Chains A and B, each alone.
Chain A
Amino acid sequence: GQNIDQPTEMTATEGAIVQINCTYQTSGFNGLFWYQQHAGEAPTFLSYNVLDGLEEKGRFSSFLSRSKGYSYLLLKELQMKDSASYLCAVRDMAWGGNDYKLSFGAGTTVTVRA
């Protein structure tokens, strides 16, 4: 099974940086995803890490340490539209590696203030 923990809420000021941490315990790790979800909308993909290190995509970066069971999502130059829930999800492989399911954390609600 999976156990995924992330903070419930974070607040930051427009233009600032926020780091959302995620720790996980898993029996069959095969990648970690970050999704953004605005209220009442579908989760949208932000980033993917399967190897240790940092992945950068514009204002968003994600880091993974497999040995520590730890990831973070870094949001830079925060904008009001970044106010949303951020979901950490771990992929668990099955069926010889051709199928997968995602196990999600409860999400971190980020509020950006002017």
Chain B
Amino acid sequence: DAGVTQSPTHLIKTRGQQVTLRCSPKSGHDTVSWYQQALGQGPQFIFQYYEEEERQRGNFPDRFSGHQFPNYSSELNVNALLLGDSALYLCASSRQGAHRSPLHFGNGTRLTVT
């Protein structure tokens, strides 16, 4: 049973560029959430997708956008990259209505902006 998979594992970009990160949820899960984790900090909620719509959003600017596909996989896009966007980006999946079930996290994409 494949868990949450993310690609790529590492990425180096230059300020001002755009980046797309990808996530496939755990089998049986239909909801995908994205988190940003800066070094030494806990993950910060970016947004959540269910039924191909953004359902909730954290305190992140519009430069951060996403998409969910019919197969439940998801993309996170970040435009006009800033140095401060350097972080570990974590994708987490869950199943709607499974309130006692934890989020399952992927291993993340380490983004470095130079």
- A2–chain B nearest beta-carbon distance, Å: 10
- A89–chain B nearest beta-carbon distance, Å: 8
Q: How large is the interface on B (under 10, 10 to 19, 20 to 34, 35 or more residues)?
A: 20 to 34
How does the 8 Å CB contact mask read for B1-30 relative to A, with 1 for contact and 0 for none? 000100000000000000000000000000
- Complex interface: stretch among B60-68, B70-78, B103-111: B103-111
The closest CB in chain A to the CB of B38 belongs to A106
B86: interface (CB < 8 Å):
no
The closest CB in chain A to the CB of B43 belongs to A104
A contact set with B: CB distance below 8 Å? 4, 30-31, 33, 35, 40-45, 48, 50, 87, 89, 94-95, 97-107
Instruction: Check B41 against A107 for contact (C-beta < 8 Å).
Output: yes
Inter-chain contacts of A31 with B (CB < 8 A) = 99-100
Instruction: Check A48 against B100 for contact (C-beta < 8 Å).
Output: yes
B42: interface (CB < 8 Å):
yes
